[in-house]
Structure 1
Amino acid sequence: MKLNYKEKLKHPVFKVTRDIITTEGLESYVIGGFVRDLILDRPSKDIDIVVVGNGLELAEKVAEKLRVKKVTTFKSFGTAHFNYKDLDIEFVGARKESYQRDSRKPIVEDGTLDEDQKRRDFSINALALSLHEDNFGDLIDPFNGIEDLEKGIIRTPLDPETTYSDDPLRMLRAIRFATQLDFKIEIKSLNAIKENAERLSIISAERISEELNKIILSDTPSRGFKLLNSTHLLHQFFPEMVNLSGVETINGHSHKDNFYHTLEVLDNIAEHTDDLWLRWAAIMHDIAKPPTKRYNEKIGWTFHGHEDLGAKMVPKIFRRMKLPMDHKMKYVQKLVRLHLRPISLVKGDVTDSAIRRLLNEAGDDIEDLMLLCNADITSKNDFKVKKYRNNFKKVEEKLKSVEEKDSVRNFQPPIDGQLIMETFDIKPCGEIGTIKNRIKEAILEGKIQNDYEEAFQMMLKLGEELGLKR
């Protein structure tokens, strides 16, 4: 039975393309992800149109009819695209590809629709809908992509060994689509990924991170990381995370598998936020546990200082993976460094002083830090989880009341170095830093209010103790 998707192709770009190619006797098809998402009833902002012939010329003609002024062309790739009504529309000539062993960049030649579909990464991305008037909306599905969509399977059109060896980025894309769509990767394809894992070395760190971030932003990112780990792709670009795997037992003392714990934390936080960098903080929060792991006969396993070492590891990992080295990295670093602080408050007495210090260090990221700490509760003991969550509520309430009372979030002492120099008629020196730090500590300890007059009086007293004269 021939399926027809004519009713779903109502966007003006399809109608204009239909009219032009029918008049000029051309073949053209909407292909790839847009067709896949159309069938799955998922939103899509990208439309790929392939033409058996010159894609650049067709793009210019369609853009003119739609009154689009700017068309971006890439002559060396034979592609052109433009934006129209918040959609990105790309035109390309049908092509066939061949690869060299040391590069994922193909040698491209003009080809037929059949050859173009064969070069696609997966059967579900090789689906095409005709745009010619005579068979407008007819589905061309040479690799049973529809059946794979129905069964939830990721499968390559050709032999997976060849597909993945030619372009190793497709291995990451397979895992990304399996994670986003909640599909299974065909076993033959899964084995081929594992066999070709080391081929990932020819892929740039930027492209790897781009796919990884899409996995991290999926609804259940742990699915992707489990696949990355089992296929050994993760070993190629994120060995620190692989090192979290495994459980060691000595004298009946075992520690939890920190790889799977990290994935639980990641899934927990994914239920509450789409913020990529907060999800990265979840991934990195225990990253330094392997190098800080020690065994103590009396208390078992310890990971002392893993939060501080983890914070130091963040920029190194971000730099290697070509992730941003700006405020986003510093944000992740801060949350990793502070992630144990609220937990220590839960275990001990929640003093105003401890709360002030946490508020001052976390600043505007305090809510994100508390979200991370709540996600970090992964015990199988329901009573323990309930107890921790109740205690966290008390900490959150205390945070709110102290913040309202003392306004110490991101605060700077009301006395600055300039005022100290003018008051005591001195030039820049160590005593200025001493006075400022002592005043700040006094405010955090609650000995004085975060108030100019109280701070000024303390400054005078400290100056006198340090031998400074007004």
Structure 2
Amino acid sequence: MRIQNYSKALQNPVFKIIAEAATELDLECYVIGGYVRDFLLERGQAKDIDIVAVGSGILLAQKVASKMEGKPQVSIFKNFGTAMIKSGDVEVEFVGARKESYDRDSRKPMVENGTLEDDQKRRDFTINALALSLNTSNYGDLLDPFDGLGDLERKLIRTPLAPGVTYSDDPLRMMRAIRFATQLGFTIQLRSLQAITEHKARIKIISSERIVDELHKILASKKPSTGFALLHKTELLPYILPELVALQGIEEIEGQRHKDNFWHTLEVVDNIAQTTDNLWLRWAALLHDIGKAPTKKFHKKIGWTFHGHEFVGSKMVYKLFKRLRMPLNDKMKFVQKMVLMSSRPIVLSEDSTTDSAVRRLVFDAGDHVDDLMTLCEADITTKNPKKQRRYKNNFQLVRQKITEVEERDQIRNFQPPISGADIMKAFQIEPSKKIGIIKEAIKEAILEGEIPNEYAAARKYMIEKGSELGLQLKKK
């Protein structure tokens, strides 16, 4: 094991306070895990600091808090034997060094006190088992019993123990291996990758919330396709997102083939990752074609079709979010809307775009029309340079048309110039079906460009429609 000193990683004043408190309590203590890893990878200063004490982590946290300016509150989690202190934008978590053993039906370990090396063995990967000493005798020394530093240099994800043991004990680590490989651009050791496939069914004991948290991190990475390709390769994906797996494969009938919509989807997600950090728009890119599997049909005259896949896909979004216990709120509705409308701008880009069609697109998309265009532009995955240029130019024309129509007609978040109350007052009538008919007629006339989006024109049109329905204007 190489001994190197990294005192420069410990410049935050909180480390000196922790070291002093540990000395007073006669405890060994170390900073371990992600903070050390990210420092060595030069990824910037992490905001989460994990401290392991050979002894009571809770006692150490309380001592540290008593020495800190402002005496911050210590959050104690007795069930886990951990404590946390928040200092500004930094969170410091304290735990006692421990050994762990697992029951096959649970990822909650049975815990007993242990040494630093016992604690390092229970870590998920060698690159997360790196520890820096906060002890007076060797302050800043790197303790690396499993050559995590070498794995950082090799860009390798490897487990401290036999991978089958690590993944069977806590199956969430299978997702974490794939997530770290995606985030860091690392390779998972072949033995480790094989062990994930062997233990894939163990993922069933992991809560949906934990799985989704890892999916979010994969989707938020620079190249999400790496993670989803690994989930597919290790056969974890059918347990998590079977809707995506159903898109995989190319079918051929009478010499006519369709593209592989699974790999196309991963290209779209990578494309959109280059243009937006919006997690829910990235989710929309991942799910935009899920309706294609259940709607796929072959017709002798026209070949493969996926009629109504956008509508079917938007309905599937709700079921998927509910199954994974994701939020069934505005975020889910946004993803649904993006999936439902994902082909609309494509149709406009292929046809001679009318103002009416653009007005309807802006009306239906509302505040999310720019997101929708971003999704459609990411959907261009052709490898033909001429086609790619043409599609991009066409979308640019659609964007330009949207700007022109929006500036002139103010359709985004459209509110009709005439309200139901205006109609009732004008014709002196009670609430009825006729009011809805008139309001809908005014909206359609504005969207079709028959009348401008203005009160005077809308009132005149209201009078005409009211007259057709047998209503008479109230006399002043």
Normalization by structure 1: what TM-score?
A: 0.99
How far did 1:7 drift? Answer: 2.1
| Aligned counterparts of 1:132 and 1:391: Cα–Cα separation in 2 | 64
Per-residue CA deviation, residues 195-250 of structure 1 (Å, 9 max, x unaligned), is: 11111110010000001100000010000000001111111011001111000011
Match for residue 280 of structure 2? 277
Deviation at 1:108, TM superposition (A): 0.9
Describe the SS at the equivalent of 1:260.
helix
Q: Does 1:224 align with 2:227?
A: yes
Matched, 1:431 2:434: yes
Structure 1 segments, 4+ long, off by >3 Å, are none
The match for 1:3 is 4
Aligned residues: 470
Partner of 2:308: 305
Distance 1:440 1:75 in 2: 61
Give the drift of 1:71.
Answer: 1.0
- CA–CA distance in 1 between the matches of 2:397 and 2:29? 63
Q: How far off is 1:22 after superposition? A: 2.5
Counterpart secondary structure, 1:88: strand
Deviation at 1:111, TM superposition (A): 1.0
Quote the Cα distance in structure 1 between the aligned partners of 2:472 and 2:20: 89
Q: CA deviation at 1:413?
A: 1.2
Looking at structure 2, the residues matched to 2 and 434 of structure 1 have their Cα atoms a distance apart, in angstroms, of 80
The one-letter code sitting in structure 1 at the alignment partner of 2:43 is: R
Q: How big is the shift at 1:69?
A: 2.3
Counterpart of 1:74 in structure 2: which amino acid?
A: F
Query: 2:348 corresponds to which residue?
Result: 345
DSSP-derived class of the 1:380 partner: coil
Contact kept, 8 Å, 2:212 with 2:326, in 1: the verdict is: yes
The one-character-per-residue Cα deviations of 1:268-304 (angstroms, maximum 9, x if unpaired) are 0000111100100100110110111111222221111
How many Å apart are 1:435 and its aligned residue? 0.4
Give me the whole-angstrom Cα distance separating, in 2, the residues matched to 1:6 and 1:419: 73
Of 233, 241, 246, 1:243 maps to 246
Distance 2:397 2:183 in 1: 37
1:357 match: 360
Match of 1:49 in 2: 51
Q: What SS class does the counterpart of residue 163 from structure 1 fall into?
A: helix
Q: Does 2:18 align with 1:17?
A: yes
SS, match of residue 429 in structure 2: coil
Distance 2:284 2:268 in 1: 10
Partner Cα separation in structure 1 for residue 352 and residue 415 of structure 2:
26
1:393 and 1:448 map into 2 onto residues whose CA distance is 27
Aligned-pair distance for 1:34?
0.7
Structure 2 counterpart of 1:211, one-letter code: E
Deviations 1:123-166 (A, max 9, x none): 11111111001100111111111111100110110011111111
**Residue 26 of structure 1 aligns with which residue?**
27
Shift of 1:24: 3.4
- Deviation, 1:122, is 0.5
Q: d(CA) in 2 for partners of 1:95 and 1:210? A: 26
Residue in 1 aligned with 2:321?
Answer: 318
Counterpart for residue 65 of structure 2: 63
The 5 A counterparts of 1:395-410 are 395-410=398-413
Q: In the TM superposition, what is the alpha-carbon distance from 1:314 to its structure 2 partner?
A: 0.9
Q: Does 1:294 align with 2:294?
A: no
SS of residue paired to 1:120: coil
Q: Does 1:393 align with 2:396?
A: yes
More displaced 10-residue stretch of structure 1: 284-293 or 420-429: 420-429
- Match in the other structure for 1:255: 258
Distance 1:435 1:388 in 2: 39
**Aligned mates of 1:72, 1:22 — CA distance in 2:** 22
1:129 aligns with 2:128: no
Question: What is the SS of the residue equivalent to 2:195?
Answer: helix
The counterpart of 1:164, out of the listed 160, 164, 167, is 167
| Match in the other structure for 2:179 | 176
Give the letter aligned to residue 254 of structure 2: N
Cα deviation, 1:354-412, whole Å, max 9, x if unaligned, reads 01000101111111111110000101111111111111111111111111111111112
8 Å contact from structure 2 (residues 133, 139) kept in 1: yes
Would you say the 8 A contact 2:128–2:148 is kept in 1?
Answer: yes
Please list, as runs of the form range in 1=range in 2, the aligned pairs for 1:205-216 lying within 5 A after superposition.
Answer: 205-216=208-219
| Aligned counterpart in structure 2 of residue 144 of structure 1, from 137, 143, 147 | 147
Offset at residue 26 of structure 1 (A): 1.5
* Rounded Cα–Cα distance in structure 2 between residues aligned with 1:359 and 1:21: 62
**Alignment partners' CA distance in 2, 1:143 and 1:195:** 24
**CA deviation after TM superposition for structure 1 residue 85, in Å:** 2.8
**Amino acid in the other structure paired with 1:399:** I
The aligned residue for residue 335 of structure 1 is: 338
SS at match of 2:73: coil
CA shift, 1:23, in A, is: 3.5
Asked if 1 retains the 8 angstrom alpha-carbon contact of 2:284 and 2:336, the reply is: yes
Letter in 2 for 1:50: V
- The whole-number CA distance in structure 2 between the counterparts of 1:82 and 1:253 is 63
Residues 3 and 143, structure 2, Cα contact 8 Å, conserved in 1: no
Structure 2 regions of 5+ residues with no counterpart? none
Alignment partner of 1:379: what SS? coil
Residue by residue over 1:310-340, the C-alpha shift from the partner in whole angstroms, topping out at 9 and shown as x without a partner, is 1111111111111111111111111111111
Matched position secondary structure for 2:431 = coil
**Paired AA for residue 432 in structure 1:** I
Which whole-Å CA distance do the structure 1 matches of 2:125 and 2:445 have between them? 64
Name the SS of the counterpart of 1:304 in structure 2.
Answer: coil
CA distance in 2, matches of 1:290, 1:316: 15
1:445 aligns to 2:465 (yes or no): no
- Which whole-Å CA distance do the structure 2 matches of 1:252 and 1:267 have between them? 30
Over the aligned positions, Cα root-mean-square deviation in angstroms equals: 0.9
Report the alpha carbon displacement of residue 421 of structure 1 after superposing the two structures with TM. Answer: 1.3
Alignment partner of 1:107: what SS? strand
Q: Distance in 2 between matches of 1:64 and 1:302?
A: 68
How many Å apart are 1:8 and its aligned residue? 1.9
